[in-house]
Amino acid sequence: MSLIEITQTSHPVILELLYATDKNFTGKVIYKNARCFLHEKAMPLFEKAILLADRQGYQLKIFDTFRPKQAAQALWDFCPNPMYVADPQKGSNHTRGVAIDLTLVDKASGQELNMKNYELDMGTPFDDFTDDSHHSAVLPPEIARNRYMLLGIMMSAGWDFYNNEWWHYQLFSPRDYPLIEEDYGIMGLCNAA
């Protein structure tokens, strides 16, 4: 088993790894290095999602993928709410390398507005821990349409979703994958694998 690194050179995606900045729900930098990895078994589904998004005029914007154990612990210490943050004692699907947090960017609107990326309005920001972030939230039609577009792309590519977070997708049966001890250089604790 191994993780594969995703870069903006290796794949036509936008990386905005918010835990490598202070623009996340903790207000602190969690990742020392902004690096993005997925489990090798997730890569074909990820690449299919890129293709499906592109065919609809969208690009994927990634907020988080593999999350080292130390980072999972820091998030839990800040917000020990199992509805939104995985208890590190049980393990996170991110720490297994089989989960991805992302949104859609409208390529055409971004070009028209002369912006590098024009995120679709999903009604809440990433890591909004309210009922409005749930897939079942009652939302204005335009926002619901945007979320359903992301949901349709990801599910058509073979991903499962988590009902409480519109941005979170994972492989089916994620607990079948082991927790990953290596930090892959994200926390600055060791060299990347």
Q: How far apart are CA 104 and CA 120, in angstroms?
A: 6
Name the E strands within the chain: 3-6, 14-15, 36-39, 58-64, 99-106, 160-161, 168-170
The catalytically annotated residue of 119, 165, 181, 182 is 165
The structure tokens listed for 86 are 């995985």
Q: Tokens 């979320």 label which residue?
A: 147
Q: How far apart are CA 20 and CA 187, in angstroms?
A: 9
Q: How far apart are CA 22 and CA 131, in angstroms?
A: 24
Phi, psi of 15 (to 5 degrees): -105, 125
Residue 165 falls in the annotated catalytic set: yes
Smallest CA-to-CA distance from 118 within 103, 101, 128, 132 is with: 103
CB 39 within 8 A of CB 182: no
Residues designated as active site: 165
